[in-house]
């Protein structure tokens, strides 16, 4: 080995170059480590979730605060009493006596229809009733005549029996004295028995025939009562052609024109009670099992609070909502108009402390079973299961899965599909 160069020298004095292998291995290992770090950093730098613009989502913080167990519903003002005007008879409008918005009293004629067929039916009923009256009168006269005839005939038969009895008594005395024969006495006794049978037969015949005639008279009277009822119905039908106000109130929706034809069941208007109102609210079906009759509600108008209560619940669900009716406890606001909208708060329970999130589109999209929770940096949101409790129009109670202070995406989730992770970008 040369002391000047440190290179190994062969035995014959020639230079032989030998590479320092341990140093090269160290350099290769260092390069490999550096490359691995770069690759890992690059992998972490790559987006691993759905890219979402931060400006496109709404974010809220889980709060430990008071949960107001109530629901705000949009209600409309309706008359406390409203009677619909549905035609019970078809016909042609002959007369309209009132205009829409007019104040009427119960029994006032609103409009009148004409229907010739109903008039003819009434005349036919009247004619049938008159004929039946005539038949009944004849039957009663015949009944009384028969009774009189039977009384006369029975009187004659009883008189003849009495005379025959007296004659037979005289014959018995004469026979005892020997003035008449035994054969003459027997003949007298036979006449007496025959006369007794005639009286008995007459009485039985009178009783049976009078019963038959009396039954016929009763049947005729029942038939007459039926004709009277039919005439009453026919008269009521004709009377119904003049439509009257069912209650005191204000006519609404009446827009009939003279000459217009209407059918049975056509709704031509209504009569509303004046100055008395109720509220009709459409409530989300989620609250159907929580809403009961008697629950308090209220609203503020012109700086003054008004109290109402639930008076009726229509449990039929349509388009995800059901209808509840509310009545005022105390005076209603002045100047209310039918159809006016009012936001009314219905109290479902007492306020209490709870973890809450704002109600939003996220609740409908996830069914309240999961949310997107932001990381500490606020750049990533990951799906996390949660358990929700009661909800209102503005708040949702969080029972499990979130802690106060955590931030959550509360806008709609429909655009994210089944993504487990969101990358939030500026």
pLDDT tens readout for residues 3-31 = 444 445 444 444 545 445 566 767 776 67
Q: What is the pLDDT of residue 149?
A: 75
Q: CA-CA distance, 26 to 20, in Å (whole number)? A: 11
CA atoms of 413 and 363, how far apart (whole Å)? 9
SS3 221: helix
Confidence check: pLDDT of 394 > 60: yes
Cα separation, 254 vs 307, whole angstroms: 33
Let me know the angle formed at the C-alpha of 182 by 180 and 184, rounded to the nearest 5 degrees. 60
Most confident of 71-75, 111-115, 118-122, 401-405: 401-405
Q: Are 51 and 415 in contact (CB under 8 A)?
A: no
Statement: residue 266 has pLDDT above 50: yes
- The dihedral of CA 193, 198, 201, 203: what is its sign? negative
Neighbouring CB atoms inside 10 A of 235's CB total 14
| Beta strand pairing call for 50-53 and 421-425 | parallel
Burial 333-347 (b: 16+ CB within 10 A, else e): beebeeeeebebbbe
156-160, 337-341, 367-371: lowest mean pLDDT where?
156-160
31 burial level (CB within 10 Å; 0-12, 13-18, 19+): exposed
136 has pLDDT over 80: no
Task: Report residue 241 as tokens.
Answer: 């052609």
> Which pLDDT tens digit goes with each residue over 313-338?
998 999 889 999 999 988 888 888 88
Residue 49, pLDDT score? 73
* Helices (runs of H) and strands (runs of E) counted in the chain: 4, 24
pLDDT of residue 63: 93
**How much is the pLDDT for 6?**
47
């Amino acid at each position: 080995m040369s002391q000047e160069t440190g290179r190994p020298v062969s035995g014959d004095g020639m230079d032989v170059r030998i590479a320092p292998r341990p140093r090269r291995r160290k350099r290769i290992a260092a390069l490999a480590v550096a490359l691995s770090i770069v690759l890992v950093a690059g992998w972490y730098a790559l987006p691993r979730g759905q890219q979402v613009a931060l400006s496109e989502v709404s974010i809220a913080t889980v709060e430990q605060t008071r949960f107001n167990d109530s629901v705000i519903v949009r209600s409309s003002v309706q008359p406390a009493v409203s009677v619909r005007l549905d035609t019970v008879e078809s016909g042609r409008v002959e007369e309209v006596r009132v205009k829409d918005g007019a104040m009427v009293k119960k029994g006032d004629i609103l409009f009148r229809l004409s229907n010739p067929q109903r008039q003819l039916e009434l005349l036919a009923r009247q004619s049938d009733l008159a004929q039946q009256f005539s038949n009944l009168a004849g039957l009663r006269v015949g009944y009384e005549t028969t009774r009189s005839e039977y009384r006369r005939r029975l009187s004659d038969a009883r008189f003849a029996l009495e005379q025959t009895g007296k004659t037979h008594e005289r014959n018995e005395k004469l026979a005892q004295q020997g003035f008449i024969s035994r054969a003459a006495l027997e003949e007298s006794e036979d006449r007496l028995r025959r006369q007794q049978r005639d009286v008995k037969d007459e009485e039985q015949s009178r009783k049976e025939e009078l019963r038959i005639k009396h039954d016929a008279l009763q049947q005729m009277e029942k038939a007459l009562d039926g004709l009277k009822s039919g005439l009453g119905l026919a008269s009521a039908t004709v009377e119904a052609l003049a439509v009257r106000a069912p209650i005191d109130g204000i006519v609404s929706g009446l827009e009939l024109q003279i000459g217009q034809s209407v059918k049975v069941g056509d709704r031509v208007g209504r009569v509303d009670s004046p100055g008395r109102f109720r509220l009709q609210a459409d409530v989300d079906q989620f609250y159907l099992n929580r809403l009961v009759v008697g629950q308090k509600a209220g609203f503020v108008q012109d700086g003054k609070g008004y109290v109402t209560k639930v008076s009726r619940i229509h449990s039929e669900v349509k388009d995800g909502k059901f209808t509840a009716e509310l009545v005022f406890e105390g005076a209603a606001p002045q100047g209310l108009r039918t159809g006016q909208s009012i936001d009314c708060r219905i109290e479902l329970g007492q306020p209490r402390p709870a973890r809450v999130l704002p109600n939003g589109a996220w609740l409908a999209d996830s069914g309240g079973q999961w949310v997107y929770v932001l990381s500490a940096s606020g750049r990533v949101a990951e799906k996390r299961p949660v358990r929700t409790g009661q909800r209102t129009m503005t708040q949702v109670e969080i029972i499990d899965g979130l802690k106060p202070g955590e931030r959550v995406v509360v806008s709609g989730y429909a655009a994210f599909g089944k993504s487990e992770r969101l990358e939030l970008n500026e």
